[in-house]
Amino acid sequence: MFMMFAMTSDSVGEIIKEVKVAFDVTNAQASLMHSLPMLGIAMSGLLLGFLADKLGRKPTIILGLGLFGVACYSFLIANDFVFIVALMSLSGVAVGIFKTGALALIGDISQSTRQHTSTMNGAEAFFGVGAIIGPLIVAWLIHRGVPWQYLYVIAGGICTLLIIIAGFARYPKYVAAQNNSVDQVSLKKSLKLVKNPYALGFSVGAFLYVAAESAIYVWMPSYLVCDAVSVRDAYACYSEGAARQLAIYSVTAFFILRALGRFVGIWMMSRFNWALVLLLFSGAIVVCFTGGLLGGKQVALYLFPLTGIFMSVIYPTFNSKGISCFQKHQHGSVAGVILFFTAAGAAAGPLIMGLVSDAMGGDAKYGFIVATGFAVLLFIGLLYNYLANPTQKRLTEVELSDYGTQS
């Protein structure tokens, strides 16, 4: 599921190039193909995240996958810009539904909060794989003269298979909150989680992380382009060979390193202090961003893609620890809250960076200064988290009540 979602969401950059030519739309209009699906995910996670706790994991996952499949197959008849954006927005709503169900399910199958973090890194690693192969599929389709819409048809086929698997799979026993319980699941109680310090803290962290991360795959290509007069000379300032190839495929290099880092994170986060790892990695991101800005394009060429390694484990760990601070019958709701802030960061981050860059004459480096600010705030928050360890008591309590153990 995570891979399928990433195949479509992280291919938007390639798709936008085709849509702008086909429908003669402006950059602002084309940006809706990114921002509206993110808004759909955000609102779906916040307003519908409780469904995983109310209906159960399996019905919620199948519901979300079914809605996503309908949106994907509808791209076969999508020949209008407004219709295309509407379908992308619908797919965002669907992702918010099935992803909160999947995130809650990870808690059900985990035997401890430490294992929860390790498993979450594994799931997000497959998201990283999808982010790599999605744009490659779009490029291959276009090269073969096949409409890019068939990427969604392929995703729809995977979605259909996932629905079948989900229907026959045996899920762990899930017990929802009883009617007379003070924790009875509802939209109102789900929204109240936004005020909870644990949910809010990890959600703000997710927002800052995604806002900084999006600078790489949205604005890095613009920052690395040379001051050239034609597309052909866009990378003429780099020496022939590996450097120029890295400039051309810098985003792919970032996604590969991020995916590899998440697979390593399965092992790493089950053995080391998660707070220390996140502190060190967030500090490395600040160093890479600062070095890439001070050293210019020739240095950023190496440091910006390298952040993929350091960014790899941060978001899965935020998700895992944030969800683990709550009882299992609340996992869907809190996953929805974190997902809301995640999607908000993905939508707002690039927009703020673009506005600042435009205000300063269009140079993408000013957008990266903003991204560095996000990374610094993230580092400060994780420094406090490491020194004060505010979640230790809460995680221990949940460990004992939900898992019967203490990790």
Please enumerate, as own/partner, the contacts of 174-183 that have beta carbons within 8 Å and a separation of 24 or more: 174/56, 174/57, 174/108, 174/328, 175/329, 176/53, 176/54, 176/56, 176/329, 177/53, 177/329, 183/327, 183/329, 183/330
Q: Which of 166, 128, 185, 112 is nearest to 334 (CA)?
A: 185
DSSP letter at 402 equals: I
Q: What distance in Å separates the CA atoms of residue 24 and residue 337, rounded to the nearest whole number?
A: 37
In three-state secondary structure terms, 312 is coil
Question: What is the spatial distance between Cα 388 and Cα 383, in angstroms, rounded to a whole number?
Answer: 8
Cα 267 from Cα 281, distance rounded (Å):
16
Cβ–Cβ < 8 Å for 97, 46:
no
The whole-angstrom separation of Cα 98 and Cα 288 is 34
Q: What is the pTM of this model?
A: 0.81
At 230 the three-state DSSP class reads coil
**Angle value at C-alpha 183, between 54 and 195, nearest 5 degrees:** 100
Q: Which two tokens stand for residue 128?
A: 């990283």
Residue 300 and residue 293 in contact, taking contact as beta carbons nearer than 8 Å: yes
3 state DSSP class of 137 = helix
Are 315 and 6 contacting, i.e. CB atoms less than 8 angstroms apart? Answer: no
Residues 6+ apart with CB under 8 A from 338: 45, 199, 202, 203, 206, 318, 319, 322, 323
Length of the chain: 407
Show the 3-state SS of 270-281: CCCCHHHHHHHH
CB 231 within 8 A of CB 94: no
Q: How far apart are CA 67 and CA 71, in angstroms?
A: 6
407 residues of the chain, pLDDT tens digit each: 999 999 998 888 778 878 888 888 876 677 788 888 988 998 898 888 888 888 888 999 999 999 999 999 999 999 899 999 999 999 999 999 999 999 888 888 888 878 888 888 888 889 889 988 988 898 889 888 999 999 999 999 999 999 999 999 888 876 555 544 444 555 676 677 778 899 899 999 999 999 999 888 778 877 887 765 455 566 778 877 788 888 878 888 898 999 899 888 888 887 889 999 999 999 999 999 999 999 999 999 999 999 999 999 999 999 889 888 888 778 888 888 898 899 889 888 888 888 888 888 878 889 899 999 999 999 999 999 999 999 888 888 877 766 555 54
Question: How many Cβ atoms are within 10 Å of 140's Cβ, its own excluded?
Answer: 12
Structure letter (DSSP) for residue 360: T
Question: Using alpha carbons only, how large is the chain's radius of gyration in Å?
Answer: 21
**Distance, first Cα to last Cα, the chain:** 29
